[in-house]
Amino acid sequence: MEAEPQDVRTTSKIIPLALPKGTEKLCELCQRRAHLQCNWCRVTFYCDAEHQQADWIGIHQRICQLLLPIRTPTLFSLQRAGRIEIQLKKAELIEICRLVAESKLSEGKHQEAMPAAQFCLRCSIDVHGPSTVQLVPAYLLLADANMGIGNLALVAELLSQAEWAVLKSPECGHAVHHKLHRSLGRLHTATGNLEEALLNFANDIYFASEEYGLDSTVTCRGYFLMAEVFAKQGKMPVARSLYSEVAQTWHSHLAKVLKTHIKNVQKNPNLLLEPSFDKAHLVEVDGMLGTILEFEQNNSRKDSAQIALVAHCLAMLWFLGRDDLKALGFGSTALQASQLIPNHDLTESIQSLLQLVQTEPHPRCD
């Protein structure tokens, strides 16, 4: 998909007389009076070029054409069958927006995620009605995006909306509870209410374990967030043990992924060219493991086994993410650390990974 269609042709001025009487067009992002419209779909309006650009990058380039059938009333859309079809299309749109927002959030692009999250919420309200439990994912996405840009007051408001919706329907499933508690925990961490943050993360981990299992990487993220809070409280031993749980879980997960990857490549060498880890996820995990590695390296009593484990994780991660330089770098860190321990059982697998990196012709990741 095109990344920068910043062409004058993409927008045009609204000519009020060309529109049906009495319909005032509002900006897609800020809901103020609009002056521009998107030239591709002609059903989306903006107050200025800046908002148009933000929306284009955020979500519009992905859903521009999908909006057309929803926003143009036809004879068919007024009938019952048409309405059902439009509901289905909206549900599809919500799903697309959610995925886009999620991947932008895990890449750390909070501002960019905003339009997608906003549209997701608006469309969800449209489909499910106000303050229903189905809105919770959209609220949480928007809250996460706002948390990233430091708009904590709005985050608190959004989360209390979400909490209210969950309270009204307690049978909404473990996954929703888990996500809500995670966002609440992050809010409390940001506002410095550490005890409350711990309580929420504890609940988050509990619900995640119920939904995804104890050793899932989703649950593991909760441990990581919790460890940060404990570190802020100065309880280093607890943080250390949480970090080691995270490292352990990711190590076994990555080892499994690597194994299947190697098997697949042996069957079909063309797969080599495709990264087997999506980019958004990669950035997030890299950040997390990087924090742990730094924590271990700065620790006064250096635990080489732990350092080797985390560095090995990072090496595997970047090997799967097609960045040989980074994979080599972390691999050699891991090897150094593991060689400090006699007969360490990781040494062998680290060496074989390094060999793999050096022998396989990899296209560099840009």
Partner 1 sequence: MNAAVTRRHTGPFLPEINSKKRRIGSQHRTKQESLPTGSVLNKSTQILSRENIALVRNSLKQNICVRLLQEGFPRSYSELFFLLRFNEDQRTAAEPGSDVLLQTPLEDQRDKLETMKLHLSLAEKAERTGSWSTVNEQRLFLGRYFSAPEDFWLSLHFFLSCINRERGSRSRPATEARACLAEVYLQQGELEEAREQAELCLKMSEDGGWLDLSGRPLRLRARQVLWRIFNRLADAPLADGDYGKALKLLHQGYSMATESEDKQIVGEAAYRLGLTYQSTGDHDTAKQFFNTCMQICGTLEDPKGLGQAYKAMAKSTESEGNIDETVRCLEKLVDVTRSNGLQHDLTDACLYLGDIFYSSSQFEQACQYYLQGYEVACNLGDVALLQKAQVLAAGARAQSFFGRYSADVESASHAALRRLLDWKETRGGRDPADNTAAAAAWY
- Taking CB under 8 A as the criterion, which residues in 300-359 touch partner 1? none
User: Terminus-to-terminus CA distance in the chain, angstroms?
Assistant: 17
Read off the tokens for 288. Answer: 């997390």
Read off the tokens for 180. Answer: 């809500």
Instruction: Point out which span in 23-31, 58-66, 126-134, 197-205 binds partner 1 (CB under 8 A).
Output: 197-205
**Cα distance between residue 118 and residue 130, in whole Å:** 14
**Cα distance between residue 188 and residue 117, in whole Å:** 21
**Cα distance between residue 222 and residue 235, in whole Å:** 17
Residue placing its CB nearer to partner 1 in the complex, 9 or 301: 301
The CA distances from residue 49 to 55, 120, 159, in Å, are: 10, 22, 31
Position 201 contacts partner 1 (CB under 8 A)? yes
Position 175 contacts partner 1 (CB under 8 A)? no
Among 214, 262, 271, 340, binds partner 1 (CB under 8 A): 214
Residue whose C-alpha is closest to residue 29's, from 149, 92, 112: 112
**Maximum distance among all alpha carbons in the chain?**
82
Among 161, 203, 306, 338, binds partner 1 (CB under 8 A): 203
- Site size with partner 1, rule: CB under 8 A: 19
- Taking CB under 8 A as the criterion, which residues in 215-254 touch partner 1? 223, 226, 230, 235, 237-238, 241-242, 245
Residue placing its CB nearer to partner 1 in the complex, 41 or 175: 175
Q: Could you tell me the smallest distance in angstroms from the CB atom of residue 202 to partner 1?
A: 4
Q: Could you tell me the smallest distance in angstroms from the CB atom of residue 204 to partner 1?
A: 9
Residue placing its CB nearer to partner 1 in the complex, 99 or 194: 194
As a dihedral over the C-alpha atoms of residue 198, residue 199, residue 205, residue 210, rounded to 10 degrees, the angle is: 170
Position 211 contacts partner 1 (CB under 8 A)? no
Q: Could you tell me the smallest distance in angstroms from the CB atom of residue 235 to partner 1?
A: 6
Q: Could you tell me the smallest distance in angstroms from the CB atom of residue 220 to partner 1?
A: 10
Position 296 contacts partner 1 (CB under 8 A)? no
Helix runs in 173-278, H state only: 174-191, 194-212, 217-232, 236-267
**Cα distance between residue 99 and residue 109, in whole Å:** 14
Read off the tokens for 63. Answer: 């859903």
Residue placing its CB nearer to partner 1 in the complex, 288 or 354: 288
User: DSSP 3-state assignment of 344?
Assistant: coil
The CA distances from residue 292 to 137, 247, 338, in Å, are: 29, 8, 17
- Taking CB under 8 A as the criterion, which residues in 58-117 touch partner 1? none
Residues forming the site for partner 1 (CB under 8 A): 196, 198-199, 201-203, 205-206, 209, 214, 223, 226, 230, 235, 237-238, 241-242, 245
